[in-house]
Chain A
């Protein structure tokens, strides 16, 4: 009796699982792609906009007749911002849903873990937001592509502007996990290479409630510029607290592209006034390509696009490569994507560099004024991307030690 019920339970489970596994796809001509992003938690804003950008691309592609005669269907999964669930969801998307393209994840740690999955199962992987420097170097694999400027590109782009226009004495304050460490390292290297002086560095743990204990050291080191590598809720809290201590007026502040999304700025306009942020896209950039894209985005979703629009390009590059290769075969598609140039991405014409599959994107510098990202300068992508370092450690010999300048 009792063991029969147990057996029945297991069988019932298997049947429930089996029916979903065997559910036939409707129509023969559907190709699926996976959207893996944060739907809950610190980075959920990034995940939300990633889904919108993918949605827009899919609708445009399907209106044109899909890709290779297949209608594109998006499967959305939550990466939970952490590596473990991301991997499980990536496996589900690949093994269960048989997606031909995977876009994601949001947090650098999760994206790197997912890279192992896409490498193992040979699936085209597009990263549109994570910026740790290892993804196009030590972790790089054949099926991985990205148009998110990584830490190295961002540091190169920002460091020169800071030294030219903002000040020579720089303090680096970063969030102490993959993304912040990566940005801090690359930025310190870039500043020192260009002859600036890093007067202090400090890291605060992810999700720090009170940053004020770190402010004493910043004040003591008396920098001209404070570089901030934070994201999500941390950025918001940090700016609120810096502002209440009068430090937003005392120092010039600069930060990475994912510091705050455009949508977050109006709520914190006053503390952010004058903040210099680097990003490849802004709805307030008069660039005609960006404006054209933003108009389409706004028409569809009723809100401005932001840096997450990079996910749109992922689909466009992939679809073009599939058409070119006349196949969904990952090796052929990856081959077609290498070195490919494409018109009509969210920032106009873009090219994927052959060596490390990085889109050579121009870097725009913006200053926050009245809660808006106003463009102030452009740095050519070719000047920031640096040499390809596939398989090499991009931070070899790096130390956090402060070099004393005489």
Chain B
């Protein structure tokens, strides 16, 4: 019993916080995948740019909260621009070209950020300080805030996709863009706005996590790999699946560190994934044969 409250529960809480953060990142990735059939390699760099845009905005306005609104808008605008300039011409081509294109975009964004802001690490001070005694340890308030805001955002996104007309249109586009085109919807605009939204979501995740994980140009590279795993596990293009998978990965990672060396944890995570792919190739909630 004591083991449960003193060891397992705190570890579970760490996992939940990390899972929620991962979920935010994976959600944008899975929407883009469903929509364009492109696994966006530059998503990690949009996440990174969100944090740097946050630093820039904080530098001017001295407010984290203003940055939390402005930075995702800035990165979202960049996303829209990128989509129109580079991805739109590829709609009719093999999705593999998109994969390779975004790999190139990632290189340019990452190196560009390094040229503009320098390669050294930056810190963003958490806007909420202090800590709360919880489960026998002092838990930082900012992490609790992170868990709360991520949960609220996840619910809001779910409501957007199920309850609003715009959300329904995007989901319809994911299912069958040609049909939607036939119904007189401006499909390219839907695509551009969705890409912008996904970029903004990545940027939001980047800025929210910056006070905890620090900021540097390569920060997206390892996160994106985890996000990929989440998207594949959850079932590509499945929104709910991604969120569930994000929590599964977050919790599995933090619980496994209790009993295993970190290196075995990393292999175990990949192992879980390969196992899922063998037993249930389409992931937790994926539809059979989507985008093959």
Footprint of B on A, CB under 8 Å? 40-42, 44-45, 176, 203-205, 207-210, 212-217, 219-220, 232-233, 236-237, 240-241, 244-246, 264, 267-268
Residue numbers in B under 8 Å from A246 (CB-CB): 131, 138, 140
CB distance from B182 to the nearest CB of A (A): 45
A215 to B211, CA, bound (A): 18
Considering only CB atoms, which chain A residue lies closest to B9 in the complex? A216
Residue numbers in A under 8 Å from B6 (CB-CB): 220
Residue numbers in A under 8 Å from B211 (CB-CB): 240
Considering only CB atoms, which chain B residue lies closest to A250 in the complex? B138
Question: Contacts A40-B119, A213-B14, A233-B214 hold; do A205 and B7 have CB atoms under 8 A apart?
Answer: no
A405 to B120, CA, bound (A): 43
Q: Is B18 an interface residue (CB 8 A)?
A: yes
Please state if A245 and B223 are interface contacts (CB–CB under 8 Å).
no
Please state if A213 and B11 are interface contacts (CB–CB under 8 Å).
yes
Question: Within residues 111 to 145 of chain B, which ones have a CB less than 8 A from any CB in chain A?
Answer: 114, 119-123, 126, 131, 137-140, 142-143
Please state if B137 and A245 are interface contacts (CB–CB under 8 Å).
yes
Please state if B218 and A41 are interface contacts (CB–CB under 8 Å).
yes
Question: Contacts A40-B114, A44-B119, A210-B18 hold; do A233 and B143 have CB atoms under 8 A apart?
Answer: no
Residue numbers in B under 8 Å from A210 (CB-CB): 14, 17-18, 212-213
Please state if B121 and A236 are interface contacts (CB–CB under 8 Å).
yes
User: Can you name 8 A-B residue pairings with CB atoms under 8 Å?
Assistant: A42-B218, A45-B120, A176-B262, A176-B263, A210-B213, A214-B257, A220-B7, A245-B137
A220 to B223, CA, bound (A): 29
Considering only CB atoms, which chain B residue lies closest to A43 in the complex? B119
CB distance from B269 to the nearest CB of A (A): 12
A241 to B138, CA, bound (A): 12
Please state if A233 and B121 are interface contacts (CB–CB under 8 Å).
yes
Residue numbers in B under 8 Å from A240 (CB-CB): 123, 211-212, 214
Residue numbers in A under 8 Å from B10 (CB-CB): 216
A42 to B114, CA, bound (A): 12
Residue numbers in B under 8 Å from A205 (CB-CB): 262-263, 266
Please state if B140 and A245 are interface contacts (CB–CB under 8 Å).
yes
Residue numbers in A under 8 Å from B122 (CB-CB): 267
Question: Contacts A45-B120, A205-B266, A209-B223 hold; do A244 and B7 have CB atoms under 8 A apart?
Answer: no
Q: Is B258 an interface residue (CB 8 A)?
A: yes
CB distance from B124 to the nearest CB of A (A): 10
Q: Is B30 an interface residue (CB 8 A)?
A: no
A209 to B123, CA, bound (A): 14
Residue numbers in B under 8 Å from A244 (CB-CB): 126, 131, 140, 142-143, 212
Q: Is B292 an interface residue (CB 8 A)?
A: no
Footprint of A on B, CB under 8 Å? 6-7, 10-11, 14-15, 17-18, 114, 119-123, 126, 131, 137-140, 142-143, 211-214, 216, 218, 222-223, 253-254, 257-258, 261-263, 266
Residue numbers in B under 8 Å from A245 (CB-CB): 131, 137-140
A264 to B143, CA, bound (A): 24
Residue numbers in A under 8 Å from B139 (CB-CB): 245
Please state if B214 and A212 are interface contacts (CB–CB under 8 Å).
no
CB distance from A150 to the nearest CB of B (A): 24
Contact of A41 among B119, B213, B254, B257 (CB under 8 A): B119
CB distance from B270 to the nearest CB of A (A): 14
Considering only CB atoms, which chain A residue lies closest to B13 in the complex? A212
Question: Contacts A176-B262, A245-B131, A245-B140 hold; do A44 and B120 have CB atoms under 8 A apart?
Answer: yes
Residue numbers in A under 8 Å from B17 (CB-CB): 210, 212
Residue numbers in B under 8 Å from A267 (CB-CB): 122-123
Considering only CB atoms, which chain A residue lies closest to B222 in the complex? A207
Please state if A268 and B123 are interface contacts (CB–CB under 8 Å).
yes
The listed residue with most A CB atoms (<10 A of its CB), out of B18, B120, B126, is B120
Please state if A216 and B11 are interface contacts (CB–CB under 8 Å).
yes
A214 to B222, CA, bound (A): 19
Residue numbers in B under 8 Å from A241 (CB-CB): 212
Residue numbers in A under 8 Å from B11 (CB-CB): 213, 216
Residue numbers in B under 8 Å from A214 (CB-CB): 257
Considering only CB atoms, which chain A residue lies closest to B216 in the complex? A233
A391 to B14, CA, bound (A): 45
Residue numbers in B under 8 Å from A209 (CB-CB): 18, 213, 222-223
A220 to B2, CA, bound (A): 12
CB distance from A87 to the nearest CB of B (A): 22
CB distance from A390 to the nearest CB of B (A): 31
Question: Contacts A244-B126, A244-B143, A245-B137 hold; do A213 and B253 have CB atoms under 8 A apart?
Answer: yes
A5 to B120, CA, bound (A): 45
A208 to B263, CA, bound (A): 11
Residue numbers in A under 8 Å from B222 (CB-CB): 207, 209
A244 to B218, CA, bound (A): 23
Known pairs A44-B120, A268-B123 / 5 extra A-B pairs, C-beta < 8 Å? A42-B216, A209-B223, A213-B253, A245-B131, A245-B138
Please state if B131 and A216 are interface contacts (CB–CB under 8 Å).
no
A219 to B261, CA, bound (A): 18
Considering only CB atoms, which chain A residue lies closest to B143 in the complex? A244
A219 to B7, CA, bound (A): 10
Top 5 closest pairs, chain A to chain B, by CB: A244-B140, A246-B138, A213-B254, A213-B257, A44-B119
Considering only CB atoms, which chain B residue lies closest to A244 in the complex? B140
A233 to B143, CA, bound (A): 20
Please state if A236 and B119 are interface contacts (CB–CB under 8 Å).
no
A268 to B215, CA, bound (A): 13
A149 to B139, CA, bound (A): 38
Contact of A203 among B121, B214, B262 (CB under 8 A): B262
Considering only CB atoms, which chain B residue lies closest to A212 in the complex? B14
CB distance from A37 to the nearest CB of B (A): 13
Considering only CB atoms, which chain A residue lies closest to B139 in the complex? A245
Residue numbers in B under 8 Å from A204 (CB-CB): 262
Residue numbers in B under 8 Å from A232 (CB-CB): 121
CB distance from A221 to the nearest CB of B (A): 12
CB distance from A205 to the nearest CB of B (A): 5
Contact of B7 among A207, A216, A237, A264 (CB under 8 A): A216
Residue numbers in A under 8 Å from B143 (CB-CB): 212, 244
